Amino acid sequence: MAPKRKKIAVIGAGICGMISLVSLEEEGGFDLVCFEKTDQPGGTWCYREVPEEGVGSTMPTTILNHSKEIGAMSNFPPKKESNNFMKHREIYEYFMDYSRGVLKCIQFNMEVLKVRRSDDYEKTGKWRVTVKNRLSGETSTHVYDGVLVCIGHINRPKMPSFPGQDLFQGRIMHTHSLKGVSFCKDKTVVVVGMGCSGLDAAVETSNVAKQVYLSTRSGAHVINRVGHRGLPTDTLVFRRYLCQLLDFLPYKVVGWFFESTYLDLQFDQRMYAVKPNHSFFSKDPALNDQFGSKLLSGSVIQKPNIQRFTKNGVIFEGDEVTECDVVIMATGYTWKFPFLEEGIVMKEEGRINLYKCMFPPHLPHATLAIMGFLLTFGPAFPSGELQARWVAQVLAGKCKLPSKEVMLKDIKRRHENNVSRFGPSDKTTVRVDCIQYCDEIASQFGAKPNLFKILFTDPKLFLKIIFGPSVSYQYRLQGPHSWKGAREAIMTSMDRVVWPMTKRKAAEVQDGFFRRLIHALLRLILP
């Protein structure tokens, strides 16, 4: 007799939700339903002219922060013709192609109102899910064997409050609502926050504004997407032999080395009016390719934190009144799971109690997981996919979680390490380094590559995994649902990187030894 199929509810059809559906479908044995509150899948990467709270938002000009190969799904390499840094519509098309087989599982315009433990939860681990049809207003409740929460955490704007802010007669908004910049034409704009969204807002508005001021408390290390020889920076930096230095050396030492040998050669951070007051690896870096030129042209002027607002402007710390017309808050997002039963996701002593940033450790059944609730130092998609592959194994009964005591110890260790490195914040617990976290999750279900074995059985592949770009295909070399094409995808990843620009393979555009030697010598000699 065939085992009974488990009913699984996936909440949210953004990227994380679609990845979860694909992984569950790949494992098989599940009846899947996905509740999406909007009328389209894709979450953040489905461009919407009108933003909605609880749904990610992008500008018309938004492009991805990581390159296509570094952020690819483990068995779905991007087309070689695809741009390395995809526009939002290209990302949307990529994931629509990837998840085409599970789109039938999505119910649109369905808002989840409640997720509660069922009456027999202690015995079965089942959940009662109540949803509302946003078109008809009808509500319904069904019981599921498992629930995956995939609503993201970069969708509820965090608005700061400054003294005198209510006196300001200009316009105040959050980057979550920023869809165009025409309203800034010939106006003076203040952007608060120097993360990726803040830099994008400052650069975009400076194209039409009279003047843009960028206010920041702590500064930021800014990275160009374009790296040495015109290659994507992340394909050069996210390599095992470099990233895993963090496992052996103090993060401040590794950060100083990276700043001195790479970042400062592009734009010396000491030239910023507000210099970063932290190590590179103790806060998220910001990515922007035009920020340096905007500073040099004076289109964007760095300023310290806002001390207070006035009727017609702001006063920066240690400065006089700066008149302005528009203030754009690029101040991040808070997190909330409003439909979850109270006490499911617990916060204790500033720590979010989720095992591996996914499972509430106090629940006796591993039938609910929070997916994609990560702040990843590096690309987020590979981490999210490995989470989905692992949870599919857990729900299938092929993997088990450790005891509550072991899980809490792991949570506390991660939180304490993160606090010492990043400082306390509301999301400190869920900060992870991409390669280390991917290895950590892959090892839970046997998908972490056996590098020692590969060293002796396939030395070329070993060298590529260690010294080449760290791509997700390596997690399909072994374990559940391994992929025969994984090795070739790893070995040819750089071919897909250079093809959109050159229409050639990587080896055909690679410099010879003598030319590389000359370049190295020039970098030593030139200031």
> Could you please report the per-residue DSSP string of 68-92?
TTTT-BTTBPPPTTS-SS-BHHHHH
Q: Compute the mean pLDDT over every residue in the chain, rounded to the nearest whole number.
A: 93
Give the tens place of pLDDT for each residue, 345-375: 999 988 999 999 999 999 999 999 999 999 9
Predicted confidence band of residue 440 (pLDDT cuts 50, 70, 90) = very high
Confidence band, pLDDT 50/70/90 cuts, at residue 505: confident
Where is 191: in which H helix or E strand? strand 188-192
What is the reported pLDDT for 513? 63
> Model confidence over 81-111: pLDDT tens digits?
999 999 999 999 999 999 999 999 999 999 9
Average the pLDDT over each of 24-33, 236-245, 506-515 and give the range with the smallest value.
Answer: 506-515
Q: Mean pLDDT throughout 57-71?
A: 92
Task: Dump pLDDT digits (tens) for 177-208.
Answer: 999 999 999 999 999 999 999 999 999 999 99
Would you state the torsion angle of the CA atoms of residues 370, 376, 378, 379, taken in this order, to the nearest 10 degrees? 20
Confidence of residue 512 (pLDDT cuts 50, 70, 90): low
Per-residue pLDDT of 217-251, as tens digits, reads 999 999 999 988 889 999 999 999 999 999 999 99
Three-class SS string for 216-260?
Answer: CCCCCCEECCECHHHCEHHHHHCEHHHHHHHHCCCHHHHHHHHHH
Domains of the chain as residue ranges with CATH: 6-155+335-444 (3.50.50.60), 158-333 (3.50.50.60)
Handedness of CA 494, 496, 499, 505 (dihedral sign): positive
- pLDDT the model gives residue 261: 85
Q: Name every residue whose Cβ is closer than 8 Å to that of residue 338 and which is 6 or more positions away in sequence.
A: none
CA atoms within 13 A on the CB side of 374: 27
Which pLDDT tens digit goes with each residue over 124-178? Answer: 999 999 999 999 999 999 999 999 999 988 888 999 999 999 999 999 999 999 9
Query: Which CA distances in Å does 483 have to 97, 264, 293, 371, 472?
Result: 18, 41, 44, 24, 12
pLDDT band at 509 (very low <50, low <70, confident <90, very high): confident
DSSP H or E stretch at residue 18: helix 15-27
Residue 447 is predicted with a pLDDT of 98
Pick the range with the lowest mean pLDDT from 6-10, 30-34, 243-247, 438-442: 243-247
pTM reported for the whole predicted model: 0.93
What 3-state class would DSSP assign to 295? helix
Q: What's the N-to-C CA distance of the chain in angstroms?
A: 74
Residues near 97 by Cβ (< 8 Å), separated by ≥ 6?
A: 76
Residue 527 has pLDDT above 80, yes or no: no
C-alpha distances out from residue 280 to 253, 259, 450, Å: 10, 7, 30
Q: How confident is the model at residue 2 (pLDDT cuts 50, 70, 90)?
A: low
Q: Are strands 321-323 and 313-316 parallel, antiparallel or unpaired?
A: antiparallel
